[in-house]
């Protein structure tokens, strides 16, 4: 039998690291900086954060600051702000990572896969032709091509350059 190795030593940070005890989308920092939390954008009503457990390099989460479980819980002002923040996240990913397309979606409810079911958030996943090859299909393994900190630094520049961060 031939055994193949897939090396991902950066995962040890997650395995041995401290697990998140608080809602990652709530404005309270619990003593952690926006950089530690991987927050790229902090607006008045919404935010953009890197997904710590990405499906793909550049996987972002866009969420309102207010704790609401679904779209019905948002005010019209929050919904508009959230949509504009989502649009900007896509533009930033296009500018920096040049993907061929995107998967954008919301998981509402635990059965739909919502890890934070009481705090609505969009997933924005950049996609490239051929990014899901045999390893995902046969090996049931994801290969993330770039370390999350490298993606964070590249994307953060776009938010800082445009003066979009309103705090934090």
Give bridge partners of residue 122 from the DSSP assignment: 62, 106
Catalytic pick among 121, 123, 147, 158: 121
Q: What does the block give as tokens for 133?
A: 């090859």
125: helix, strand or coil: strand
Clarify whether 59 is annotated catalytic. Answer: no
DSSP string, 22-85: S-TTSS--TT--HHHHTEEEE-SSEEEEE-SS-SSTT-EEEEESS--SSGGGS-HHHHHHHHHH
Q: CA Rg, the chain, in Å?
A: 17
Q: Which active-site residues does the annotation give?
A: 121
């Amino acid at each position: 039998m031939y055994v193949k190795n897939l090396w991902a030593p950066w995962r040890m940070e997650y395995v041995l690291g401290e697990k998140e005890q608080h809602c990652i989308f709530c404005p309270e920092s619990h003593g952690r900086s926006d950089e530690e939390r991987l927050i790229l954008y902090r607006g008045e009503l919404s935010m953009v954060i890197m997904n710590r457990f990405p499906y793909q390099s550049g996987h972002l989460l866009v969420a309102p600051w207010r704790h609401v479980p679904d779209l019905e819980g948002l005010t019209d002002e929050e919904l508009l702000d959230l949509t504009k923040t989502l649009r900007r996240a896509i533009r930033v990913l296009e500018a920096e990572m040049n993907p061929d397309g995107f998967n954008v979606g919301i998981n509402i409810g635990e059965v739909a896969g919502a890890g934070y079911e009481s705090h609505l958030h969009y997933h924005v996943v950049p996609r490239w032709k051929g990014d899901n090859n045999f390893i995902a299909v046969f090996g049931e393994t994801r290969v993330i091509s770039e370390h999350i900190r490298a993606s964070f630094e590249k994307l953060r520049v776009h938010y800082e350059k445009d003066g979009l961060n309103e705090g934090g």
